[in-house]
Amino acid sequence: MNTTAHTPLPFDATLTQELTHFLALEAHLLDTHRLDAWLDLYAEDASYWVPLVQGQTDPFEHSSIIHDDRTLLAIRVAQYSHPRAHARLPATRTCHQVGNVLVLEQTDAFVRVASTLTLVEYRQGRQRLWGALVEHRLRRTPQGWMIAAKRIDLINAEAELDGISILF
């Protein structure tokens, strides 16, 4: 995904509303701990990337905070959901706020969408605030939109991050 070219397409109210709804659904599934349903939004060839450095263009040329394919995402979901994952108890509570949804590119194969994310995380008496610029590459399928790629650029990616225990 290319986060350097952020010139939005002309406004298409119907498409933007549909995509905003999809991104809100993704956030709701995360906030309500419906991780299997969240994982079902991801295509089999999907990628989920949280770069370590602002402006990072390649997940293979530099370390990343997270760089998962769908198989690794499924493992991550299984670990979060496992009843003996004592390190994750009590469960983290989150509130994802998605905004500023812009369609950046639309082809026959995919739609590239930029958005902002403000995420409040609460766990073990501690609240943290995360901010990110997010880019999704979505595919329309007969079942609806599927996530082909998601990139989350944390605004504080280069800071000490003290154990991330959430999905963005």
**132-145: per-residue pLDDT in tens?**
999 999 999 999 99
pLDDT at 89: 65
Q: Is the pLDDT of residue 82 over 80?
A: no
- Domain 9-154 belongs to what topology? Nuclear Transport Factor 2; Chain: A, (3.10.450)
pLDDT of residue 136: 98
Question: What would the pLDDT profile of 91-105 be if each residue is shown by its tens digit?
Answer: 889 999 999 999 999
pLDDT at 83 over 60: yes
Q: Is 3 a residue whose pLDDT tops 60?
A: no
162 has a pLDDT exceeding 70: yes
20 pLDDT higher than 80: yes
Burial of 163 (0-12, 13-18, 19+ CB in 10 A): exposed
Per-residue 3-state assignment (H helix, E strand, C coil) for the chain: CCCCCCCCCCCCHHHHHHHHHHHHHHHHHHHCCCHHHHHCCEEEEEEEEEECCCCCCCCCCCCEEEEEEHHHHHHHHHHHHCCCCHHHCCCCEEEEEEEEEEEEEECCCCEEEEEEEEEEEEECCEEEEEEEEEEEEEEEECCEEEEEEEEEEECCCCCCCCCCCCCC
pLDDT of residue 124 exceeding 90: no
Average pLDDT over residues 43-56: 95
Task: Give the closest residue to 137 by CA, choosing from 43, 74, 12.
Answer: 43
Using the predicted structure, report yes or no on whether residue 90 has a pLDDT greater than 90.
Answer: no
Contact present, 96 and 115 (Cβ < 8 Å): no
CA–CA gap between residue 10 and residue 4 (Å, rounded):
18
**Predicted confidence band of residue 25 (pLDDT cuts 50, 70, 90):** very high
**Whole-structure pTM value:** 0.90
Give me the pLDDT at residue 5, please. Answer: 55
Biggest CA pair distance of the chain = 49
Segment 3-21 shows an average pLDDT of 82
